[in-house]
Amino acid sequence: MGEKKVVGPSAAIPQFRQQVAILMSAKVRFESSLFDICQLVQADLFDSELEAASELAKHKFTRAAGALAGVVLERHLRQVCENHGIQITKKSPVIADLNDALKGASIINIPLWRSVQHLADIRNLCDHDKKMEPTSDQVNDLLAGVAKVIKTLF
């Protein structure tokens, strides 16, 4: 008995391509979900660190509170740069470097850039200048400013 050829091998190609496309979209969705989870975990960590900084400030450890808030701000700005694909060439970038990169890429506007520079100045006062103590008002401004930046800049 003779076999009848109904379709050739080329008939399978469209179905194969469709299956590949399904797998590729699943991969993208999986990566997107992982990104979302990482962002949520990081946001929770930043919130916890800011709460710790607030407690330090409440107990008059202003320099330590400001230093911790500054670390949160720096880490957040680094993450925002990564989110937007901004390459930072400096080995150990500081807030000013990250802030400038975000402004240069038009991710932030000049008023926000100036605000972040002000926060960086207060952080530097807390971290470096031992001649002058940061005031409670300065550290409270830093805490409020960092809280605003991490909630509004992505």
The CATH fold of domain 42-152: Four Helix Bundle (Hemerythrin (Met), subunit A) (1.20.120)
Residues 54, 45, 153, 133: is their CA dihedral positive or negative? positive
pLDDT score at 33: 85
Question: Model pTM?
Answer: 0.80
For tokens 């990250």, name the residue: 98
Residue 20 CB-half CA count within 13 A: 6
Write the pLDDT tens digit of every residue in 63-112.
999 999 999 999 999 999 999 999 999 999 999 999 999 999 999 999 99
Q: Which two tokens stand for residue 102?
A: 């975000």
pLDDT digits (tens, 9 = 90+) for 21-75: 998 888 888 888 888 888 889 989 999 999 999 999 999 999 999 999 999 999 9
Q: Whole-angstrom Cα distance, residue 100 to residue 95?
A: 8
Domain boundaries of the chain, sorted by first residue = 42-152
Distance of CA 98 to CAs 11, 33, 103, Å? 53, 26, 9
